[in-house]
Amino acid sequence: MADEENARPQDVGRSHKRRRIPSAESLALLERYRAALRAELGETLAELRPTDPEGLGLVPSAKPALSHRLKLWDLALKLARELGGDTDPPPRPYDATPPDATRGRAPKLTRRDKARLG
């Protein structure tokens, strides 16, 4: 009861559980969305670092102006973050300490020790 009293009005009566399996239509739309993000990121990176289309080195590639490159990098970072959000986080490193083990306290420093440390 206390939780409902302190809850925001838009959250009262709302389930806070995530849905486990999206519908097939949602999955198809999300895949199209990710494909569009990947394509946009590739085009943005190609615009940041233009190359000679022939690969012969005859035409020097010109970089965009700095102000335009900064905007492109900002867009590229946003796209990369959005694309990276759909991956699972890397596994956490194994901790050999059991979860119920308590760690000891650090010894108290004497005045002399504190003076040596500065």
Percent of the chain with pLDDT over 70: 69
10 within some domain:
no
* Predicted confidence (pLDDT) at residue 96 exceeds the cutoff of 70: no
DSSP 1-69: -HHHHHS-GGGTT---PPPSS--HHHHHHHHHHHHHHHHHHHHHHHHHS---TTSSS-SPPPPPPHHHH
Query: Considering the domain boundaries, does residue 69 fall inside one?
Result: yes
Question: Do the domain assignments include residue 104?
Answer: no
Question: What's the pLDDT score for residue 35?
Answer: 92
Q: pLDDT tens digits for 43-76?
A: 988 888 877 666 566 555 677 788 888 898 888 8
Question: pTM above the 0.85 mark?
Answer: no
- For the stretch 16-32, pLDDT in tens is 676 677 788 988 998 99
39 located within any domain: yes
What is the span of the domain harbouring residue 45? 23-86
Domains held by the chain: number: 1
Is residue 114 in a domain?
no
Mean pLDDT taken over the chain:
76
* 91 inside domain: no
Is 95 among the domain residues? no
pLDDT at residue 87, rounded to an integer: 47
pLDDT band for position 39 (50/70/90)?
A: very high
